[in-house]
Amino acid sequence: MAIWELDGAEIAAQIAQGAISAREVAEATLARMDSVNPVINAVVARDDAAALAAADAVDAARASGAALGPMAGVPVTIKENVDQAGFATTNGLRIQRDLIAEQDNPVVTNLRRAGAVIVGRTNTPAFSLRWFTRNSLHGHTRNPHNAAITPGGSSGGAASATAAGIGAIGHGTDIGGSIRYPAYACGLQGIRPTLGRVAAWNGSAPDRHIGAQLMAVSGPHARSVRDVRMALDVMSQPDLRDPWHTPAPLIGAEYPRRAALCVAPEGLQTHPLVEAALRDAASRLIDAGWRVDEVDSPPFRAPARCQAQLWLAEMARGAQAAFAQEDDLDANHVLAEMHKLTPVPDLNEVLDAMQSRLGFLREWQSFLAKHPVLICPISAEPPFPDLLDLQDFPRVMEAQLTQVGLPLMGLPGMSVFTGFEQSEAGRVPLGAQLIAGRYREDILLDAAEAIEARGPAIQVVTP
């Protein structure tokens, strides 16, 4: 295998053993980027000299006998909506092309501290608003498996890069599916952690309003579950700059190997290919010794409405002027469509949404105490034709019910790859979403490893 085909755990092990050097890994990754990135436009900013210097520091530490971090020499990418010192935190916006970060976001700090080598920054739609990745600043990111389908969004650049071998792990963020959906669309493993699990903060901008504080998280994309586990451990280290951070253990109490399967939550019109992927995931868990019960899920629709209300309240209060100034046609269209489906709430509606959140979380926690994992769709459809939201936004929004509904409760969710199938758009990746209780990412990872072990391994794709 080429170096850029190895997963992060294997790279870290080979560097620690002296089988390869961190510089060799960095050089191979940068060369891979040179080869494939012009086709997919996933990485939109890079500093090769800094990446090679970070790799040399890892090699020097090993040569001196110093202890190496758990991700020493592992190449990673960072999404352009979080601060990385010396780079613009553009969030896909022309109006932020000169917003240069003076310090790293805590998630970047933790990756560096673990020895990871940052090889580039990845594209996101304007305002990180869509499940598609195109903006007026950096242009259009493509899915390396199939250019006819979306790479997902808003972490579409992260997933596209990781799938194509530009780094072993891609950092993403998720407020409405932006880690889980790109992982699905690009055939990866991706986890949305519990609120507070991963410390994050952008010093380049004011603190966000309460909706985003309650729902937005950072997490990893990777080509193996063990890499997701490794990256989550690293990203989860404490940082006082994020008051929401909770130093909960990554391994929880013993739990029964019992899962729930819900193919069509609250009447969702689940595509037959998606249903087959869900049942495949469930059968793999049964083969691994789990019990799987087909049941109705706790609510998604009412939480999704509250999520949209809190999101729109934040945009109406703080982002309208920015939308007008940026004047990105895609973002303007999507925001207008969101307003059609969910009008901007008044103060009482925001307060009602906040009050309702507690009851929804109570109901979900009770359900997950009986069934520690819920298997449900990531999306009701196979990965969308690219830019479908500009043609039929209501269809897209309905299919993404489980993406939007989950973040209100701050619960963790994971997108698990199951394989490829032929759809109307050609050959597409498919997968299942796993949901667990707060701070029980370990259960998601255990279940995902069982599913992964009984299916096709994820291979790097050349677009």
Q: Which helix (H) or strand (E) holds 422?
A: strand 413-423
Radius of gyration (C-alpha) of the chain in whole angstroms: 20
Distance of CA 143 to the CA centre of its chain: 15
CA distance 23 to 119: 12
CA distance 9 to 75: 11
Burial group, residue 2, by CB count within 10 angstroms (0-12, 13-18, 19+): exposed
Residues 450, 280: Cα–Cα separation, whole Å? 12
**Active site annotation includes 154:** yes
Is residue 217 classed as helix, strand or coil in its secondary structure? Answer: strand
Is position 79 annotated as part of the catalytic site? yes
Show the DSSP H helices in 299-346 as ranges: 301-318, 320-326, 329-341
Whether a cis peptide bond, with omega within 30° of 0, leads into 297 is: no
Measure Cα distances from 216 to 193, 195, 198, 381 in Å. Answer: 10, 7, 10, 24
Beta bridge mates, 292: 259
The residue type at 182: P
| Active-site annotation holder among 160, 178, 218, 379 | 178
Six token digits for residue 134:
């195109």
What would the two tokens of residue 333 be?
Answer: 């269209």
The rounded distance, in Å, linking the Cα atoms of 308 and 211 is 9
- Selecting among 21, 79, 204, 379, the annotated active-site residue is 79
How far apart CA 326 and CA 208 sit, in angstroms, is 19
117-122 vs 75-79, strand pairing mode: parallel
Catalytic residue among 21, 128, 154, 379: 154
Question: How far are the Cα atoms of 43, 174, 288, 355, 369 from residue 292, in angstroms, in the given order?
Answer: 40, 28, 11, 33, 14
Residue 356 designated active-site? no
* Cα angle value 420/424/426 (rounded, 5°): 45
C-alpha–C-alpha distance, residues 110 and 115, integer Å: 9
CA distance 222 to 131: 18
Contact 167, 55 (CB under 8 A): no
- Identify the CA nearest to 396 among candidates 91, 156, 153: 153
Kindly state the tokens that stand for 214. 């309650």
Q: Which residues are catalytic?
A: 79, 154, 178
